[in-house]
Structure 1
Amino acid sequence: MTAKRPLTLRLAAPRGFCAGVDRAIQIVEESLNKWGAPVYVRHEIVHNRHVVERLEALGAIFVEELDQCPDDRPVIFSAHGVPKSVPAEARQRNMIFVDATCPLVSKVHVEAERHHQNAREIVLIGHAGHPEVVGTMGQLPEGTVTLIETVEDVAAFTPANSANLAFLTQTTLSVDDTAGIVAALQARFPGIATPHKEDICYATTNRQEAVKVLAPGAGLVLVIGARTSSNSVRLVEVALRAGAASAQLIASAEDIDWTWFDGVGALGLTAGASAPEDLVQGVINACRERFDVTMETVKTADETVTFKLPRVLAG
């Protein structure tokens, strides 16, 4: 029997589920306990197919729009947040609904309202079409918020009143990418109002910081997450910028192309904020089957944040 080739596996900490994702999944589970199946969920509760399929097996039905839900069953709004029109329609139909919007996304919604009340023109840094961006822009009347995706967009932006501007950011962006856009905004509009606290969430920042530490010298970094997960896609970009020779986004161990490991002595491994830990263990086990693995944990932060469940489920 051939001896297994040695492989150093650098495991990022923190990785995987954040407090907002934990809370959202718990909301679906507790709703099923309280009201029984089926419970409807508008949009994927979090961007991970494995999570969605497990909840479907418990009795959750995922839909894209509220008109796909019957009036007499509870509906849950995803962690990404929804436009104001969605709960308004649910109330009009006398539906039971539970809002699983991450509290850090809700904070951005509150900031948007505050700026609007102060008659400020609002710029949102984010990705067009992302559910969180749709939800945030949908907090205010159409045309009130301008989406900025790139530094080039900043140059092309012409506000109605450059002296009365504010900016917000999608929570799951790359800290480094956002910094460039923020710098461009502040250079063009020195008086622009900034968020009270960093809008990019602690979990996104922490996962990126861990990747920055484990990536240098790694022949390959694997990021477990969905292609629709903004924070997971960003982790791949962060790994490459931080010095990884290669970085790949995978949904699970089944997606690994083992030719990626040719010549790789050090592997970095992390997971996006909506990826469950069992997928991480699946990749570790698959590596152990093929290599003589030495584990190293790269820990850059302790996460102690938790979010309470909505009152309707807390009792």
Structure 2
Amino acid sequence: MSIKRHNIPLGGLRAFETVARHKNMVRAAEELCVTHSAVSQQIRKLEELLGTQLFDRKHKPLRLTVKGERLLGKVTYGLNVLSQAAEEICHGEIAGELKVSCVPGLGANWFVDVLGDFLHSHDNLVAHVLSENWQSPRPTEDVDLALVYGSSDYPGMRVTRLGHPEFFPVCSPQLVGTRHVIRHASDLLSFTLLHDYGEKTWARWFAAAGVDSPEPNRDMMFDSAHLSLQAARAAHGIALADEATVYRDLNDGRLIRLFELSIPATHPYYIVTPPTDRLKPAARALEAWLLEHYRAI
């Protein structure tokens, strides 16, 4: 069946993308500021128009069908293009140079990929990327956008909460193999534990699991999360990671999640930019892009 351009159900496609992102119609309705029944009706009309089911409603949370997965990629791309076009009209052309900084762990394992996709849509934009340790007093002063971890106290700057990570144990499947069976949290004590910025995060995870905090034995200490994760990928031990930094590894099978138990990080991630009157259109567009992609993980 051919669907003419003037018949494209933009409202239904937006509802579909929002439901697919949240995997929940109630949350999608809250984001769209409509009722649950209105969202459900839009989805059903879209499915009737396409002649196929987009969601497998037998599963909770909702799960996309194969055709739904195929449609989601196209719809997400199209909505991003429309959003960027509107942003350029409202705030000026997204072009020139953009100076950004990011904490190393999130930068190496998530931000670089997301930034690359953003730049792919903006041929006239050049990005300069700096790495800033989260324990530094402040990110570089003259950046257009900084992704930081820790305090939200940046007087005179725009501060937007990106998200609050939760940590869980991961390792290479090669480390476990068929010779080791991990059933209980205490089983992890027979492996090398990979730490970044000290031992407190592992201690909090073990406390949540009801296991006495171990004394460091043959553990490895790193000063950044991207190094501890790289050691985990190389099967040197077990690291703690959050969804943003390892979701590609989990999807590709480079790392496996060992337990569902997770603990919240001591701090959230924030996006810091200059105040609105000095905010570049490119930085505003990148901020929206980052918020969208982080929430979609």
TM over 0.5: no
Higher RCO (C-alpha 8 Å, min separation 6): 1
Q: TM-score, normalised to structure 2's length?
A: 0.30
Normalised by the length of structure 1, the TM-score is 0.29
Greater helix proportion: 2
